[in-house]
Structure 1
Amino acid sequence: MNQKILFNEGWKFAKSSLDVSESRNLKFTPVDLPHDWLINNTLDLYENSIGWYRKTFSYSKKEEEVLLYFDGVYFNSSLYVNQQFIGEWKSGYSSFEHEITDALVEGDNEILVKVVHESPNSRWYSGAGIYRNVWLKTRDENHIKTDGIYITTKETKSGWEVEVDTELNMNQVVKLSHTIMYQGETITTSSEKIEQLNSLNQQTLIVVEPLLWSTEKPNLYQLVTNLEVELTDESGKKELKKIELISQNIGFKTVFLNPNNGFYLNGNRMKLNGVCEHHDLGALGAAFNTAALRRRLIILKEMGVNAIRTAHNVPAVELMDLADEMGLLIVSEVFDMWERPKTKYDFSRFFKEWAHSEVKSWVLRDRNHPSLLMWSIGNEIYDTHADERGQELTKMLMDYVLQFDPNRNAVVTIGSNYMPWENAQKCADLVKVAGYNYAEKYYQKHHEEHPDWVIYGSETSSVVQSRGIYHFPFEQSILADDDEQCSSLGNSLQVGGQNHQKLAL
């Protein structure tokens, strides 16, 4: 049976300077995953260092593929198994996997993950380390490809069509079944016998009058996918053996964006009362914790929030799951920079080579979530303002998204503070759904000039303040915060980046 099991236990950690090339002489101590090593020293939250994670586990060789799947490692990570280099992943936010089958031996096996943190690499607190979950995957040669189930729902006169496209790796005849369930009861089912190797299978199920998913009533159904392989015994009798079972939430909703009238969910006009959320959890650092995130989302819902922009990176998959469950619309964002850097060691160093892999991981993993509303390909991207290359990259990233979400489960957008300028407007004209950062005064003018654009406020206010710190007079911006304390955004040139508090807001 193909399996995916949590692999967070039994790791040890060591830290070194950037000039250390191997872990042999380092002192390793037990560590709990998820883990953020930067938060342990609040006096140096942006230190340059390498984190080394080591784990030994016992394995008995079988006829199966073995993979390590990482929900997120920040960042620039390399994987070694039994001193063999397996692969690397440059991004700090997207999920990725490495197949380790050929490097494994009978008995004990050593896993080593090297994580390089060079600062500055971000405009906010990033954390560092294996800060999201790790999984061990074992699978038969016959399997459903990772994130290979693509679900699209569409309302028709006869009911809701649920199209399920499944990417299969197979070397023999299989049976693929899909069942839609609600609160433990079967609503409908579909199955096919598949003989063509390495097939892309499409099945359509019909659901009549389902309960709709909304921010007020987030009704969730489950799609259960079952893969069985056809075996023949010695007598020639054929039987089916179950080899993989995947269950995921689905929801039924309609989304309509109108340049003049705004946003409609299930035919009802509504406002997006959104917040931009960074991935850290305050004093807990970047190490992911489901209970802490749930607490945060409950507080936000009580505030009246119904939408979240994942500022400015791929979120934890648990955030998407909780948003499905709690009724929060998600503007999922992938990049804070493209080819032009914002800090010396940020992802721009790897963008040309790794952008496609990043978008692929991002879209494949999250394209089925009912909470998904928009794919944001970037935040305040200077490339879009600088020259025509920005338009080329905008079109490239749009194509990447549509390669993996061709049915457009979400619309492509961008969040920008460069909208007053021509090149950025040309990029916005490509996506047509334009997020404005701190540029409310241009809404009406740009709506008149571009009546086919959907314009929304992707970022409209910010708060930066230290508890108990009050610098007066408020109207007079101080020149620097030598004590690293700030009473408010706009009260400091260093923090707010503006000459006056009104301009900062």
Structure 2
Amino acid sequence: MKTKLFAFLLLLACFSTHAATRERLSLDRGWLFHQGDIVQPPIVGHEESYSNAKAGSAGGAAANEYDDSDWRRLNLPHDWAVEGPFDPKANVAQGYRPRGIGWYRRYLRVDPADRGKHFELQFDAIATHATVWVNGNVVKHNWSGYNASYIDITPFLRYGDAMNTIAIRVDAQAMEGWWYEGAGMYRHSWLVKRSPLHVVTDGVHSTPRQIKGQQWSIPVEVTLNNSGKQAGDVVVEVTVYDPSGKQVAQRTASAHVNVLATDTVQLPVTINNPSLWSLEKTNLYRVSTRVLQAGRVLDEVSLNTGFRTIRFDAAQGFFLNGVHVKLQGVCIHQDHAGVGVAVPDSVWEYRLRRLKEMGVNAIRFSHNAPAAEVLDMVDRMGFVVMDENRNFNPSEDYMKQLEWMVKRDRHHPGVILWSVFNEEPVQATEVGYEMARRMSAAVKALDDTRPVTAAMNGGFLTELNVSHAVDVVGSNYQVPDYDRFHKAHPDKPFTSSEDTSAFMTRGEYKTVKDKNLIASYDDDAAQWGNTHRDAWEAIATRPYVAGGFVWTGFDYRGEPTPNEWPSVSSVFGIMDLNGFPKTAYYIHQVQWIKDRPLIHIAPHWNWKQGDNVRVMVMANIERIKLLLNGRELGEQKADPYRMNNFNVVFEPGKLEAIGYNGGKEVVRTAVETTGAPVRLELLPDRAQLAGDGRDAMPITVRALDAQGRAVPLADNEVTFAVSGGGRSIGHGNGDPNSHEDEKGPTRRLFNGLAQLIVQTDYDSKDAIAVSASAAGLQPAQISIPVRQVAAQPYVAEADAPLTFVRSWRIAPDGDQRPDPNQKLASFDMNTWGWGSPPMRAAAGSKYHLYRASFTPRKNLADGSGRIRFAAIRGKAEIWLNGTLIGKKDSFAAGALDVPLPAGAGKREINVLLEAEPGQGVGIEGNVTIEAAR
């Protein structure tokens, strides 16, 4: 028996040594939402004024016991702006979508066994400004819609059934940009539970450095915090694993962290001959940090990083691992068809995959830090990134936003540039220089391994300007000044940070101004910009220009330049809002991909007999031959910058383009004249989905003719039905002038295409059935398998809680029975005491009086509610608004259940207790207002 007990204890000890206590739990489920502001009535009375200034006493929708029973229940991420109708009176820059104010609330039960742990709320982003309350206490004011909020809520928590209330007021009237920004809690939210002595969020700095040759160092720096009640001595252990999972380095150091203090530990580790991260081979190393005390793991954090060198050369551009790389980049905003800015992670993966297929190797997330999950994808998929700060301002609140971005993102090998701003009016002045100088210094204090840039749209040739405060000069457009700047500053690295701004409407090949349609031949650009072909030629033919970032990779809502209403989204994109390609996609693809022959034709081949059609052929080979119905129309040398154009008189049939290298055919493509649409087709992006409630998939919707060919001009209205283990979360068609409901059951095809996005339900295992129907066409149905997966750890949803009667006034004790309904002057804050259950009075006095107020929820106003006392010690009388409604005749501690009379509005409750001689009394458990059982 002793042997078995010893073995069990040994096993338990081993388990406790390796079991980290940190839990990062998804908080996306079970939020309540109200669109519109809820304004608290003015505070005018003595008591209201006094109480308003006290901890935990927030009023209105921020109050603990606010009645939110009629609010909408939803899961995050959520963008309420995309759900609303378009309004021609709303802001053109925001895509004519009204935004306004919204409120979110959520209830949180904390297990008493977790008392003593450190609790942190994490909101990855909220659009736009937000105020957060926990249990009636303001815990955060956030002044940007693009940065995360990390909130220590440990001191405010209640445990057990005394539910915690999170309330968030979102001000989406505030604007930070001139594009669609959405509204609401559009990224993920989390609850992090960890040991009181722990690694702070973003507290591991692990950016590798090359020492010499193949010898590298990761000068790991770990920041610890101790929210506990006693100082702690710990060992910090850093372990590095290579891409195969093999341990390649380990280092430990001791730390002493005082109570409510932080400490930083340095643990440099050396790595010899690491596998380098590159665009082609995205080798990622895992850095695991553990905090141990007496052999027990208190906390553990893991993150990925990569070994690579970057260099911007003033004469030759950008080098990655010593190899010259031209930055073939795009700028992108963060909204997508159907979902607004609440883009599921898997749809982000789809967007990045579309860019990769086009030949993109660089992304500028304009003009803000992206979601953390997106940068993880960037590292895995092989992109380099310009990580951009939103607000140009070195004052305290805004400097914190910049520092947050650098701390969060500095471990990512894909990040190669920190950008402190985009197009600031003071960029050419001493003021701009001084502001940029301070922000650049703040970046370098946190990470000096990457250069700092700023996206300037002019002013870099003045005597003192922002370009003197950054490492790499970023130019937005300004093509005529490229050579002038390089000649004036031949030792300053230079890149296009934004270029092009050309206009195309997907699938349109005739410009119709009165319909806000722009032909997709790359002939039209903003007055400040260039066509796709001109912009890239200016970059590609100048070795000193590190590369470029096309405005933009995708269309985005708002900023419908050069149009206004009824246009509601931009037409700058290489792809439309769905990720469907325009002609620009193929122009860049043949310019940027060199490892295989490519050829494309624009436009489609559905015209009228005798029409003169301009045919653009895009190819990355030597020569091009064009044939119509087998008849040769001409042959041209392929032009890598201008592309190739042919004038062709339309006749129905097949138009073919053949590409040759060295006189041999290496690639061909064709477009054909189609018949009328006869049936619909659904093309899922992937073969299956994960049943985790988060995985989502775009499905392409198109119409086919009798021969199974996609009809490029189809505009049928399609009705969708989704059932089984998922649901529709939105749809789009790429039409910048469409005002259709993106969440409704129907969507019209635009130039032959639409896109439906489906998402799995939480804990789903059933396949998702999707059907599409249109008048006069054969419908389409598909079944998408759903793979069962382990649920992501999450905080359980909580139903609307009981109303807790928490804040009580306590009358002076006495031996004479008091009037339970006696008046107390509203300005008297001191004669009676204050308390919350449990409230106990020691033996001595005979009578004890407690008073509180509450407002029952609307569903209990009909008399169906109960007032429940979990435990009262002593005899009791319960008075409500001056009327005796219940009694307890026993001195012994026990529960009491009293009917709640019908009525609405605020109620005053008085509890008169009589003590047994020599015994104490009190309200010893929670007091709740709830429905009758």
Q: Calculate the TM-score normalised by the size of structure 1.
A: 0.86
Among 208, 211, 236, which residue is 2:275 paired with?
211
Contact 1:17 1:48 in 2 (8 A): no
2:71 partner letter: F
Alignment partners' CA distance in 2, 1:194 and 1:103: 28
Instruction: Work out the number of aligned pairs and report it.
Output: 464
The higher-RCO structure (CA 8 Å, 6+ apart) is 1
Larger mean Cα displacement after TM superposition, 435-444 or 193-202: 193-202
Contact 2:224 2:257 in 1 (8 A): no
Deviations 1:37-69 (A, max 9, x none): 101014145324211111112113401221101
Contact 2:453 2:473 in 1 (8 A): yes
Matches within 5 A, 1:107-256: 107=161, 108-118=163-173, 121-157=176-212, 159-170=215-226, 171-182=231-242, 183-195=244-256, 197=258, 198-230=262-294, 240-256=295-311
Deviation at 1:480, TM superposition (A): 6.0
Counterpart for residue 32 of structure 2: 12
Matches within 5 A, 1:32-431: 32-44=75-87, 45-61=96-112, 62-106=115-159, 107=161, 108-118=163-173, 121-157=176-212, 159-170=215-226, 171-182=231-242, 183-195=244-256, 197=258, 198-230=262-294, 240-335=295-390, 337-338=391-392, 352-385=395-428, 387-405=429-447, 408-419=448-459, 422=462, 426-431=465-470
Alignment partners' CA distance in 1, 2:414 and 2:387: 10
Alignment partners' CA distance in 2, 1:439 and 1:364: 32
Closer, same or farther in 2 for the Cα pair 1:161/1:42, shift >3 Å? Answer: same
Alignment partners' CA distance in 1, 2:153 and 2:267: 33
Deviations 1:435-484 (A, max 9, x none): 11111221111111012211111111124555566325989999964433
Alignment partners' CA distance in 1, 2:303 and 2:322: 26
Contact 1:47 1:119 in 2 (8 A): no
Among 502, 507, 512, which residue is 1:471 paired with?
512
Closer, same or farther in 2 for the Cα pair 1:413/1:304, shift >3 Å? Answer: same
Deviation at 1:390, TM superposition (A): 1.1
Contact 1:420 1:442 in 2 (8 A): no
Larger mean Cα displacement after TM superposition, 112-121 or 171-180: 112-121
Give the secondary structure class of the aligned counterpart of 1:215: coil
Deviation at 1:149, TM superposition (A): 0.7
Give the secondary structure class of the aligned counterpart of 2:566: coil
Give the secondary structure class of the aligned counterpart of 2:179: coil
Deviation at 1:403, TM superposition (A): 2.5
Alignment partners' CA distance in 2, 1:202 and 1:417: 41
Contact 1:214 1:327 in 2 (8 A): yes
Alignment partners' CA distance in 1, 2:462 and 2:415: 30
Contact 2:451 2:471 in 1 (8 A): no
Give the secondary structure class of the aligned counterpart of 1:402: helix
Deviation at 1:20, TM superposition (A): 6.6
2:440 partner letter: M
Contact 1:471 1:486 in 2 (8 A): no
Alignment partners' CA distance in 2, 1:168 and 1:300: 39
Contact 1:18 1:49 in 2 (8 A): no
Deviations 1:285-337 (A, max 9, x none): 101311101011111011110010010011111111001101100100012x5
Alignment partners' CA distance in 2, 1:302 and 1:6: 32
Larger mean Cα displacement after TM superposition, 111-120 or 249-258: 111-120
2:445 partner letter: Q
Q: Calculate the TM-score normalised by the size of structure 2.
A: 0.48
Contact 1:257 1:263 in 2 (8 A): yes
Contact 2:328 2:361 in 1 (8 A): yes
Give the secondary structure class of the aligned counterpart of 2:274: coil
1:53 partner letter: Y
Contact 2:128 2:174 in 1 (8 A): no
Give the secondary structure class of the aligned counterpart of 2:458: coil
Identity of aligned residues (%): 30
Deviation at 1:271, TM superposition (A): 0.3
Alignment partners' CA distance in 2, 1:214 and 1:435: 23
Counterpart for residue 438 of structure 1: 477
Alignment partners' CA distance in 2, 1:322 and 1:487: 26
Give the secondary structure class of the aligned counterpart of 2:346: helix
1:370 partner letter: P
Give the secondary structure class of the aligned counterpart of 1:284: coil
Q: Higher helix fraction: Structure 1 or Structure 2?
A: 1
Contact 2:182 2:341 in 1 (8 A): yes
Alignment partners' CA distance in 1, 2:462 and 2:78: 44
Contact 2:195 2:299 in 1 (8 A): no
Closer, same or farther in 2 for the Cα pair 1:25/1:388, shift >3 Å? Answer: farther
Alignment partners' CA distance in 2, 1:307 and 1:165: 29
Give the secondary structure class of the aligned counterpart of 2:268: strand
Alignment partners' CA distance in 2, 1:25 and 1:96: 26
Counterpart for residue 491 of structure 2: 452
The structure whose Rg is larger is: 2
Alignment partners' CA distance in 2, 1:69 and 1:163: 27
Alignment partners' CA distance in 2, 1:194 and 1:472: 69
Closer, same or farther in 2 for the Cα pair 1:144/1:448, shift >3 Å? Answer: same
Give the secondary structure class of the aligned counterpart of 2:427: helix
Counterpart for residue 495 of structure 1: none
Contact 1:466 1:486 in 2 (8 A): no
Closer, same or farther in 2 for the Cα pair 1:247/1:15, shift >3 Å? Answer: same
Alignment partners' CA distance in 2, 1:317 and 1:479: 33
Closer, same or farther in 2 for the Cα pair 1:468/1:120, shift >3 Å? Answer: farther
